[in-house]
Chains A and B, each alone.
Chain A
Amino acid sequence: MRHTLATFLTLVLLWALVAQGNHALSNLRVYLFVGGLFVTYAALMLPWRAGLATSLLGGLLCDANAPVAFGTHLLLFAAAFAVLWHLRDRLPREDTVARVIVALLANLALFLVFSFTQIGGSPVPAIAWPRLIGDLVCSQICLALIAPWFFALQHRALLLARAERENLA
């Protein structure tokens, strides 16, 4: 429970910061999507139940603030969590660089799948893709920059909630 709550609060903070970033970037028509960060730490570092619960709560948080069918982010994050959990023993998950790479790959996959689910209503879908690719590039750069800080924040939040021991850093 502590794992879930502490990690979920960091996800709320991430969501708020990214929303402010998107607000500031709106006049440039650039949008940041960092869905990969909502699942990576939970899947690589947390116990099974706590990680899954955190990812699902993160999905609900995104769903409530997006004009999509409720559950879209939830199911996508659950799928990403399942894949990452399946791979986690084969990954050097204690290494920050490896975590960042995993987050980038997860974000790429989530962005593409999400785009395919949303682009159907566009009057000219072919024209929408350059914009989406631009957003994806900006999102990946942003994610690579903030991921080390965010993983450290999540770890510190767990320490603060006394849900994690220091030597597991």
Chain B
Amino acid sequence: MPFRRLATAKPFVTLGLVVAAWIVVPVTIKTLARASFYELTAPITVVASYARDLQQYWSLRLHSNGELIEAGRDLARLNASYEFAVQQNTEMQAEIARLEGLLRLPAFANYRLEHVRVASRDFSGWWQRIVIRKGKNFGLPVGAPVIFTGGVVGRVTEVHAATAVVELLTSQNVRLAGVVEGDTRPISYQGGLNPTFGPPRGVVEFVPLDVFASAAAPKRLVTSGLGGVFPPGLTIGEITHVDLSSDGLFKTGEVKLDERLGSVAEVTVLVPLTPE
């Protein structure tokens, strides 16, 4: 009878031993195990991503010459306007440098732009992140800001041998300081509202009382540059409504984020040229 009881309790005794063993295992071994298991599976993610790109390449090959000529013409027009913007940008950069020299202001942080393909997207109710196809091999640092055509994507949280993990703006762990476009007072932004089939949203806190926004007249929320991670002026999203907070001193509200975050295929990592 005692033997039978012992046999019945065997799974739970073993579970207790596993838990106890896991608690006493040194952090170094856990870190090594995590890195090993990640690097074991990273090639699968990357190969699948290349296979998708190849699939897209072959599907694009099916386009007719007429369609390609039209796309080329549109691109040429776009390039012309971008070339004009680049010339203006160069002039402005020179002006900023001149003013910084005159007023002895600290220079803005400079970044190297690293364009990267997205290997996989992982958007659960618990976390939102993407894996990109460059890592230590391209000198990406942890904490580097990541952007795309729609504005901020997130920041690099893990860097591995040939891949890196980016935590998205929609994730509940992302908090950053933003400002309403044209204003200088900082607002706290936090991600975390990601309804099924709906656009991602975030929340803003400490919104000044004189800021009004609605779905019909949204306010653009941009990065403030405070904290030193994101350069100022990058789009976070649009504040679609604000309500008075419980303490009555500020307002809280919701931010509608870019829907393209859910299908982003290429991003740009801003690698600081002067790492801290």
Say yes or no: B124 contacts A75, CB within 8 Å.
no
Q: Please state if B263 and A67 are interface contacts (CB–CB under 8 Å).
A: no
**With A26-B121, A52-B14: A123-B37 Cβ-Cβ less than 8 Å:** no
Do residues B41 and A64 form an inter-chain contact, with CB atoms below 8 A? yes
Instruction: Judge if A114 is at the interface, Cβ distance under 8 Å.
Output: yes
Question: In the complex, which of the residues A22, A52, A56 contacts B122, with contact meaning CB atoms closer than 8 Å?
Answer: A22
Q: Are B193 and A70 in contact (CB under 8 A)?
A: no
A29 touches B123 (CB 8 A): yes
Given contacts A65-B41, A71-B22, contact A27 B263 (CB under 8 A): yes
Mark out the residues of chain A between 1 and 45 whose CB falls within 8 Å of any chain B CB in the assembled complex. 12, 15-16, 19-20, 22-23, 25-31, 33
Say how far A46's CB is from chain B's closest CB, in angstroms: 13
Find out whether the CB atom of B125 lies under 8 angstroms from the CB atom of A135: yes
Instruction: State whether B195 touches A12 (Cβ < 8 A).
Output: no
B73-81, B197-205, B210-218: which lies at the A interface? B197-205
Is the pair A124, B192 in contact by a Cβ cutoff of 8 Å?
Answer: yes
Whether A131 lies near B196 (C-beta < 8 A) is yes
* Contact A31:B33 (CB < 8 A) given known A74-B22, A75-B19: no
Nearest Cβ in chain A — how far from B190, in angstroms? 5
Q: Is the CB of B15 within 8 A of A124?
A: no
Asked if B124 and A31 sit within 8 Å, CB to CB, the answer is yes
Most buried by B among A27, A63, A68: A27
Of the four ranges (under 10, 10 to 19, 20 to 34, 35 or more), the interface on chain B belongs to 35 or more
Interface string of B16-57 (1 = CB under 8 A from A): 001100100000001101111110110011001000000000
Q: Does residue A105 face the partner (Cβ distance < 8 Å to B)? A: no
**Contact of B126 (CB < 8 Å), options: A29, A81, A83, A118:** A118
With A16-B44, A26-B123 given, can you name 18 additional A-B contacts, CB distance below 8 Å?
A: A16-B48, A20-B48, A22-B123, A23-B121, A26-B122, A27-B262, A31-B124, A31-B125, A66-B127, A75-B19, A78-B15, A78-B18, A86-B8, A115-B126, A121-B192, A131-B125, A131-B196, A135-B124
Q: What are the 6 closest A-B residue pairs judged by CB atoms, nearest first?
A: A64-B37, A134-B196, A82-B11, A27-B262, A31-B124, A26-B121
User: Measuring CB to CB, which residues of chain B are less than 8 angstroms from any residue of chain A?
Assistant: 8, 10-12, 14-15, 18-19, 22, 30-31, 33-38, 40-41, 44-45, 48, 120-127, 129, 157, 165, 167, 172-173, 190, 192-198, 200, 202-203, 259, 262-263
A/B interface sample: 19 pairs, CB < 8 A:
A12-B41, A16-B44, A20-B48, A20-B120, A22-B124, A26-B123, A29-B200, A31-B122, A31-B125, A63-B37, A64-B41, A67-B167, A67-B173, A70-B34, A71-B30, A81-B15, A124-B203, A128-B172, A135-B124
